[in-house]
Structure 1
Amino acid sequence: MSAGGLPLAMAGTDERVKVVAVSGDQNDQRRLFDLGIVVGKELTVTQRQTDGRMVVALGDLRLALGVGVTRKILVVPVSDVETR
């Protein structure tokens, strides 16, 4: 993934990622903020559909996200080195 990140929609099942940006209008950004999806947060993709819909884990919380939303969340992978 590039330094600026790629859309969450491109992440694979069981992949841990860190949010680096959230695009979209103010309402989109506010809705994601209210769900706890903010820059710096780590997510784990628990289920993924081929069209980009997915379920992500945010701590103990599980969120089902539509393809439009998963394309607005830019992420980078979390490496094992970063988690130690």
Structure 2
Amino acid sequence: MMPLKLAGIGEELTIIRIVGLPAVKAHLADLGFVVGANITVISSVDGNLIVNVKGSRIALGEDMAMKIFV
């Protein structure tokens, strides 16, 4: 298990755990980041990621990427 920030580009991974305050978890869940969801890292620049989750491309800051474990 590792934070999403450390995942390589093009890797298809499964979300194992999401940490943070309930409001943060709810926000991520609204975007499709839920335990068991498949996620693919599209690109990474300075710790910020663009990922594909449930058919949508979403940009994540480094702090949010550290709250999602794959």
What range is the shorter-chain TM-score in? over 0.9
Q: Is this contact kept in 1: 2:3–2:65, CA < 8 A?
A: yes
Secondary structure of 1:69's counterpart equals helix
Root mean square deviation, CA, Å: 0.8
Is there any run of 5+ residues in structure 1 with no aligned partner, and where?
Answer: 76-84
Query: Per-residue displacement from partner, 1:40-84 (whole Å, max 9, x unpaired)?
Result: 0000000112x3210000132100000000000000xxxxxxxxx
Structure 2 contact 37–54 (Cα < 8 Å) conserved: no
TM-score (normalised: structure 2): 0.95
- What does residue 24 of structure 2 align with? 28
Q: What does residue 15 of structure 2 align with?
A: 19
Equivalent-residue separation in structure 2 for 1:47 and 1:57 (angstroms): 10
Name the one with the larger helix percent: 2
> 4+ residue stretches of structure 1 with deviation over 6 A?
none
TM-score (norm 1): 0.80
Q: How many residues align?
A: 70
